[in-house]
Structure 1
């Protein structure tokens, strides 16, 4: 078998992968080969199949081959059907850069406790609600997700912690979170990307937010609901999960400045310019899918019903 083209990881991350993700280093080559063979056998699916990409999906599915198949299928299915949301095709997309330059999505440089989860800070109020839409936000996030899948071993192996700062959010921001948008985001996050969300913290909660939040809960999976913590004015309990030092300088920590993180993220997008253009070569064709085509309207209906995609 040809030598695998995958990154070396630290001994600490390898230990986590072995113990928590069921990774057996001696079997990785066979697992990747099996997944690649399955992709080639799917007439409806055009997917990337390089070693590092497939390994991220295997790790994100704790080396369950069937789960990895399902996530890859859904990853490309949702991207093809909803490119305005999940498409990652253009590093120079003006609205993607607007979201990044406003500091709405910040991937903090230092993972938790050195070998722990990657921390993402979301500041949707950093830009007025009339300057961007939820589609723009999700599309920007999808570009960053693909970079994470390819590059960020901490996020793939140790997972991710999301911090949502809604201090500057307005009614306009909240109104964009329609049931249909919530369902798309929920299904994509849970069913289509190989990232391992560990915790989600909402901080700087204004009065009345919990009522809005409770209305959103039905559109989240039980797993997603159980990961969420809501923090009002005092952040002592939040700091027990994410110590202050792991936040950006502007928040009192030492995990980079917002300007530094924005600059680095823009450089990443620049570096991936050709890669994202290549993404147009990948996707799904439902007319070629074996069995019954997916009924997208009922899949993401406003009523909130969701039937799992059928995969071989």
Structure 2
């Protein structure tokens, strides 16, 4: 692996984030150093793991997501490696230099808005912007993974977490028809149990009537903790007061025009392109993986969904 596993860790963020890490994640210099050593030892002795990054920045993703329960962090890491390998269409060869990425950013079905006053990453998702004549749900998930993997190369989001805003204006039955039911469940499982993502809040706006049942189905797959963090609003005006207005695009009453957010995203993906592509060097032996045998999230990855079919069966205007 290209990352230096023996590199010494140095906390470089402002003191407010060190305090937050201590209060929310139980992080200290001693615990961090001990936990990193424990994870590296576990990786070295795990017969299923052929190649894996072991540099501090990568391992801290999992330790912070599991609040320094190193056993849970190790299980999370192995599950992450298994899922990345199994769902290669979603997680591998995430090359920001490919033409489709720039085209999708222009349409902006997903747009990071930077950090709020609490230091949390804001991401706006506007699936109604997805041009399904050019792209499908696979490309949408790939762009999301590319964005998240890039931000996880920057330490702040590991500590502060993220806030998602789903704005549904323009979302139609045709968009809904792109999603097989199994993909919805499997993707939510990845968010809940696999990707080291600390979701602090989810705000949904302008959800059309026809999508309410689907939203309820999607929420049913979420963890109990995540369910409590989901909030729904009828309009953008209703959302104001729950997120910082200044952080929204200018077109939504904020201060920064959408074109600048797009440029910032392009710069971020370019900056971390090599690191994200380098994740493909990691490899796990699926036959030897203990997590694959005992973990219900990983077991029968494609066949554990009780409802058969997809929304393609719906009549689309």
Give yes or no for TM over 0.5: yes
Equivalent position of 1:49 in the other structure: 54
Matches within 5 A, 1:1-312: 4-45=8-49, 46-109=51-114, 111-113=115-117, 115-153=118-156, 155-233=157-235, 235-236=237-238, 238-254=239-255, 256-290=256-290, 293=293, 296-297=299-300, 301-303=304-306
The whole-number CA distance in structure 1 between the counterparts of 2:260 and 2:209 is 32
In 1, the alpha carbon distance for the partners of 2:130 and 2:289 equals: 41
Query: Cα offset for 1:82?
Result: 0.6
Root mean square deviation, CA, Å? 2.4
- Residue aligning to 2:314: none
Cα distance in 1 for partners of 2:293, 2:97 equals 33
Cα deviation digits, residues 110-134 of structure 1 (max 9, x gap): x222x33111001111132232111
Is contact 2:123-2:164 (8 Å) kept? Answer: yes
CA–CA separation in structure 1 for the residues paired with 2:179 and 2:28: 41
Match of 1:310 in 2: none
Q: CA deviation at 1:142?
A: 0.9
Contact 2:108 2:129 in 1 (8 A): yes
Q: CA deviation at 1:234?
A: 6.0
Provide the secondary structure at the position in 1 that maps to 2:201: strand
SS in 2 for 1:198: strand
Which structure 2 residue ranges, 5 or more long, are not aligned?
1-5, 308-317
Is contact 1:182–1:220 with CA below 8 Å preserved after alignment?
A: no
Instruction: Decide whether aligned partners of structure 1 residues 264 and 27 sit closer, same or farther in structure 2, where only a CA change above 3 A counts.
Output: same
Q: 1:175, 1:298 → 2: CA distance?
A: 22
1:230-287 CA distance string (max 9 Å, x none)? 1113633x22220322211111112x32211211221222223332332221132212
Q: Distance in 2 between matches of 1:100 and 1:218?
A: 30
Query: Structure 2 vs 1, CA of residues 30 and 234 (structure 1 numbering), >3 Å: closer, same or farther?
Result: closer
Over 3 Å counting, the alpha-carbon distance change for 1:14 and 1:226 in structure 2 is same
Change (3 A) 1:206 1:293: closer
Q: Please state whether the residue corresponding to 1:235 is helix, strand or coil.
A: helix
CA distance in 1, matches of 2:9, 2:258: 34
**Gap runs ≥5 in structure 1:** 305-312
| 1:155-214 CA-partner distances (Å, limit 9, x unpaired) | 211211100111011112122333211111111111112221011111122333323322
Q: Residues 285 and 17 (structure 1 numbering): CA distance in 2 closer, same or farther, change over 3 Å?
A: same
Q: TM-score, normalised on structure 2?
A: 0.86
The answer (yes or no) to whether the contact 1:133–1:176 under 8 Å persists in 2 is yes
Q: TM-score, length-normalised on structure 1? A: 0.87
Q: 1:229 to 1:257 in 2, by over 3 A?
A: same
